[in-house]
Amino acid sequence: MVLLSFVLLVVGPTLVAGWYMWFRAADRYVSTAGFSVRTEEVGSAIELLGGIAQMSGSSSSDTDILYDYIQSQELVRRIDDALDLRAIWSRVPASVDPVFAYDPPGTIEDLTEYWRDMVRVYNDGTTGLLELRVQAFTPEDAQAIAQMIYDMSAQMINELSAIARADATGYAREELDTAVERLKTAREAITQFRNRTQIVDPAASIQSQMGILSSLQAQLAQTLVDLDLLRDTTNEGDPRIAQTENRIAAIESRIAEERNKLGFGTAEGAVNDGTAFADLVGEYERLIVDLQFAEQSYTAALATFDSSVAEARRQSRYLAAHVRPTLAEAPTLPRRLELTLLTALFAFLAWAILVLAAYAIRDRR
């Protein structure tokens, strides 16, 4: 009885497993690739000249993201659309090798589950290195799948890097756009003011007018002195007194006209008195202050934007392959002898447990 059970439970399964491994299981080729996500922190020009630029590093979070992405249904679907995984993994019909071959068509969930058996990813958490092993029934198919995984992983990392750069520079770009619009508005306001008043710089205009008035007032004072001297030294009927009085009247008239023309323009909106011109000067000074503030805001926003762009470039990420997808020359799977021996071992252990249990039950009776 023990011998019969040994034959049925140990020898039989071992023979079946050996027969399947050597006569039914198809050869599988493995393509291996190794890569990692690198963050290149490029220093500034001064740092580069000083030789203190930082070396590239690997981010564990990026590696974990890539590790999950390689096993995701999204990647399986994209590679299936590009290479037709169902056709590749069913080159050996499931009727010939029902254990290791894919039975098409199946759902995307079935294909993803089979993918996780045929595509293995190993993540070294200490170094951030990823090792990829892809199985297929031909070496070319295994290499093609591995290369496609690498290409799409690199594309995904580039997209993440682009999103990170956009996030890093987005706020600075908005601030720069706002500063540009503020500067344009301030300059347009200055231009409209000058077109409306026909005055380029009210401060310069008032200085010019004040210079004329000062000159006329000086001439008036001198002429009044001359008139007093004439009256003291000549008769009242002296024609020079009349001439001097006429000169004084002309100068006073000119002073009055210059005062009335102070800040006077030829276009619509020109001012009519000193008070209006003072208001005009105040309006111009307010516009100049707005323009100066807009220029300073633009300079600061531009510097911030350039700094954020430089910082984003300093921390750009990329996928670096230290082992390109290999092309196998000989099949390495399935491990026929190893699987057969494991089958025999587990069958023997199961048989031994059953025999011991049977003897224990018999002894208790």
> Looking at 288, 306, 324, which one is the last position of a domain?
306
CA dihedral 18→23→26→30, nearest 10 degrees, is 50
Q: What is the mean pLDDT of residues 355-362?
A: 88
Question: d(Cα 30, Cα 19) in Å, to the nearest integer?
Answer: 23
One domain, residues 64 and 138 = yes
Examine residue 85 and state whether it is found in any structural domain, yes or no.
Answer: yes
Helix axis angle for 60-70 and 73-83, nearest 10°, is 60
Summarize the confidence of residues 226-230 as an average pLDDT.
82
Q: Are residues 95 and 49 in the same domain?
A: yes
43-52, 210-219, 255-264, 347-356 — most confident range: 347-356
Does pLDDT of 128 surpass 80? yes
222 shares a domain with 194:
yes
Residues 185 and 150 in one domain: no
Given this model, what pLDDT does residue 257 score? 74
SS3 (DSSP) at 17: helix
Co-location of 182 and 278 in the same domain: yes
Mean pLDDT for 318-325 is 91
Range of the domain at 204: 173-266+273-306
Report how far residue 70's alpha carbon sits from residue 348's, in angstroms, rounded to the nearest whole number.
38
User: Do 59 and 86 reside in the same domain of the chain?
Assistant: yes
In-domain check, residue 227: yes
Verify that 33 and 93 share a domain, yes or no.
yes
Same domain as 178, residue 84: no
**323 strand-pairing partners:** 34
Packing angle, helices 73-83 and 108-118, rounded to 10: 90
**Same domain membership, residue 157 and residue 194:** no
The 10s digit of each residue's pLDDT in 28-54 is: 999 999 999 887 655 544 344 444 444
Within 8 A by CB and 6+ apart from 348, the residues are 10
Which pLDDT does position 265 carry in this prediction?
A: 42
Specify if 328 maps to a domain: yes
In a shared domain, residues 224 and 115: no
The pTM score is: 0.65
Share of the chain above pLDDT 90, in %: 50
In this structure, the answer to whether residues 162 and 178 fall within a common structural domain is no
Q: How many domains does the chain have?
A: 2
Dihedral, 156, 160, 161, 167 alpha carbons, nearest 10: 160
Average pLDDT, the chain: 84
Q: Identify whether 357 is part of a domain.
A: no
User: Which pLDDT band holds residue 238 (cuts at 50, 70, 90)?
Assistant: confident
Residue 114 within any structural domain of the chain: yes
Could you tell me if 278 and 325 lie in one domain? no
